[in-house]
Chains A and B, each alone.
Chain A
Amino acid sequence: MTSGRTNGKGAIGGLSPLPLSGIRVLELAEGWAGPMSGMWLGDLGAEVIKVEAIQRYDHARGPVEAPEGLTSYPDKKPGPRPYDVSAPYVQANRNKLAITIDLSRPQGVALFKRLVALTDVVVTNMVTGVPEKMGIAYRDLVKVRSDLIMLISSGYGATGPYSRRVTMGGAMDGIAGYTWLRHYADQTPDTITYSTHTDVVTGMNNSLSVLMAIYHRAVTGRGQLIETSGVEASIQQVHGSLMDYALNGRVHTSPGNDHPFMAPHGCYRCKGDDRWINITVSSQRQWQALCRTMGKPAWSREPRFSTQAGRWANRGELNQLIERWTQSHDSIELMHRLQKAGVPAGAVYDQADAAHDPHWKARGAYQTVVLADGKSYPIATPPWTMDGRRLAVRRPPPAFGQHNQYVLGEVLGLGDDEIARLQAEQYIGDTPLGAASSGPLSNRDQTVRPSPRG
């Protein structure tokens, strides 16, 4: 499947309707969490229109002019329009249309409201208070669309002492309790790589909250305002340690790769450069299967290791013994041997391993699409298979302002002359203004190495 062409009503010709077919979403969001909220809705069939401005655009697109050499761009070359293809943008914006409207001027807000009148859902992740200032708060928009569903997503929520504070995924990681729980057990929290896992959790909670409101509207006919807090959504994910505190007053420290009771449970070095395997054992049967596979059936009778409690108490020694075995084996071959013996084990995949894995190929986890630079690339698909068909990337991540003509012309019914005027007065456009970037070059400032398997 290549680029998505619509039939003018948002539905895709030839495919059976998706669950959210006929639902239109306007997305005013930037970064990761906000755009992912819209992405999941688009994956499930909604027509998601990403609204940016030539004066201010989603910072995940990166700068207007980027240097060569960054892994965010095809062959590390940013090309003439780097903001159409930067990897952080591409990863969170499939299955969307993209338009521009300058919402800092009243005429832009008026135009936006005309679109809202034809829209089911508005998704934003602006800081609390900003939509009110711009005149696009729920109370403003519900006047033009009485059954509107509007999501206001923020880090700390719309109420409470921190509600107006800015945040990003890497900071949410700290206050949500993740940082405290995810470093090496023998080190301190300031030794780890940052993570934006909170953004992923926030985005999926956001789309879920909207889906529920769509259900409610289907039953009652009523729309509503939804308020989400990315931090609170993230806190839910570490409920194990929170419940232990609530029940017993106990404060957890970071276990590293250890498990509260499983042993062995760890990441072991394999043959080759920086190759690893995870092995986890939760039953006597799995333990015996592991011992047999290692060629050490006697270990399963070793008193120190014969019970789960014994293995856990002696896990340091056990881990060393296992690693002595794994380090002479290929991680992927060993995974298959252990899995076939009934032991939950998995190689630690780098991105190349994940991209070439035969299981995910068979599952349709990737699809080749034509991106905005006119070239074909593999891209990840949505995770769901419905009625035997993997949900698809129906529309590749759109170029900046790509759908101005379709949305303003066909959906809103503006004439060509009016669209030309909007363009002349810089309400709309397909090129960001100026060279200054509001955003990071890449959300993953990590070193990379060429893949031997590439």
Chain B
Amino acid sequence: MNGALAGLLVLDLTQGIAGPFGTKHLADYGARVVKIERPGSGDVARRLPPFYQDDPHPEKSGRFLFLNTNKQGVTLNLKDPTGAALLRRLAQEADLVVESFRPGVMERLGLGYGELSASNPALSMISLSDFGQTGPYRDYRLTELVAFGLAGPMYANGSPDREPLKFAENAALGIAALALANAAVAVAVSGKLTGQGRYVDLSIADSMLATTQNHPMSYFYTGEVSQRTGTAMRAQFLIGSFPCKDGYIAIQGAGRGEEWWQRFFRMLGQPELSKDPRFCSSQAIMEHGEDFDAVWYSWLMDHTRIEIFDAAGEARYPIAPVYTSEDIYNDPHFNDRGFLVEIDHPATGPVRYPGLPFRHHGSPPDPPRPAPLLGQHNREVLQGMLGLSSQELGQLAAAGVV
């Protein structure tokens, strides 16, 4: 295997979204990630939509297929003592174990970090949980919406006269996945350099809270909290989304000083307006909001998303079109860069997936492999890594251990 993480062996006991998304980052860059699933039903994400042709088949979940690329799939019943013993043997070979059971479950299964690392001191382990392994909410449960409301900027997102609003899809779970992957590689580095593993306690709630969008610094400074503003002052600050001839554009140009206003009016093809007394400073524009809106909105409605995007590109102004998934798939830039990658899976045939978010020029990974079928790599992993015979494997299967 090639890629920056070639040689790293990860046992992935997580399921759902946050954990597998975290280990996907590792697998996509060359780590050998052995995904352990429950025999029979497998990862709960196999039952999450969208499904190929809307057929809720465990090998056809687009969610699962995306989150588990480049991993090997093994089924193992960890509640069975034989299964737990096999996991302990696999952990002897591994650099990292990642798990997302509820706090205390790994210890009950005899798979706590102390036990797994006893004869492999370089082994690290990350426990990902909803609220952490300690603290008063340790046994509380969260979902994306609950996490985003408690720990994210939800309270300040939306209209003042309506309920707070979440972000697109799974913002909190995706952030937790990134916090997981960052910690995973960090402890892998120190494990490699020092021979000493670490135990990491990471929660989805802590991950979301730690992102700068919701830092309470201004509250600590002033005792005041951010509130929902909707679109108030949006035009004068040039922030947010605006309608145009054929859709919407998104812009962030607020408060960047006079040079940015010059760029702005150049983009509009009316550079002389930056000298107009009504528009010659941020203050003047605030005071002539209606005149400004008339110029801005009429220009928007005369131009398409792409015309505006191109004009902004020329004028070096931060505007982009508001895209749907279809727009992203058809965009020349993402296609030119090869961002969308075709992956062939037995249940779906070749499908184009969102690809790698960053590129290592000195360690390019191999072409992507599809997510594993349930138990696809039982033989390769259990026979190849542990040296079990075909007969032993057959007995384990008959006993429901694999």
Contact = CB atoms under 8 A, between A and B. Distances in A.
Given A192-B240, A248-B50, A212 B313 contact: no
B209 A344 contact: no
B41 interface: no
Interface in A381-397: 381-388
A179 B181 CA distance: 26
Contacts of A73: 221
A101 interface: no
A344 to B, nearest CB: 4
A252 interface: yes
A184 B178 CA distance: 27
Contacts of A215: 4-5, 8, 185, 188-189, 192
Interface in B1-27: 4-8, 25
Given A197-B213, A352-B216, A363-B206, A170 B251 contact: yes
Contacts of A242: 325, 328-329, 353-354
- Among A178, A252, A256, A360, max chain B CB count under 10 A is at A360
Nearest to A60: B212
Interface in A28-65: 32, 36, 40, 44-45, 59
Given A177-B324, A193-B228, A232 B357 contact: yes
Given A211-B182, A251-B325, A362-B135, A228 B357 contact: yes
Contact of B220 (A194, A209, A236, A378): A378
Contact of B325 (A170, A177, A257, A268): A177
B239 A212 contact: no
B146 A349 contact: no
Given A243-B353, A261-B49, A282 B143 contact: yes
Contact of A235 (B225, B354, B362): B354
A20 interface: yes
Interface in A410-454: 436-442, 444-451, 454
B4 A193 contact: no
A260 interface: yes
Contacts, number: 541
28 contacts: A19-B186, A87-B217, A87-B218, A159-B337, A170-B250, A171-B251, A174-B250, A174-B323, A192-B231, A204-B178, A204-B211, A216-B4, A219-B192, A235-B354, A236-B357, A238-B168, A243-B62, A244-B49, A246-B353, A248-B54, A260-B49, A266-B163, A280-B145, A349-B151, A352-B225, A380-B210, A449-B227, A451-B219
A379 interface: yes
A110 to B, nearest CB: 26
Contact of B141 (A88, A342, A445): A342
A445 B146 contact: no
B241 A71 contact: no
Contacts of B227: 274, 350, 446-449
A278 B66 CA distance: 28
B322 A179 contact: yes
Contacts of B223: 352, 450-451, 454
Contacts of B174: 201, 236-237
Contacts of B206: 360, 363, 365, 383
A191 B230 contact: yes
Contact of B316 (A166, A178, A233): A166
B254 A445 contact: yes
Interface string A266-294: 11110000101110101000000000000
For chain B, the bracket of interface size reads: 35 or more
B292 interface: no
Contacts of B147: 346
Nearest to A244: B50
A216 B201 contact: no
Contact of B360 (A212, A252, A350, A454): A212
B257 A438 contact: yes
B122 to A, nearest CB: 13
B224 A171 contact: no
B228 A451 contact: no
Given A177-B168, A190-B242, 17 more contacts: A75-B222, A159-B337, A170-B252, A191-B230, A194-B240, A197-B213, A225-B362, A239-B169, A242-B329, A242-B354, A244-B50, A246-B351, A346-B145, A349-B155, A384-B201, A447-B229, A449-B225
A262 interface: yes
Given A175-B320, A179-B241, A247-B53, A363 B182 contact: no
A219 B137 contact: no
- Among A213, A239, A245, A441, max chain B CB count under 10 A is at A239
A224 B362 contact: yes
A379 B248 CA distance: 37
A120 B261 CA distance: 39
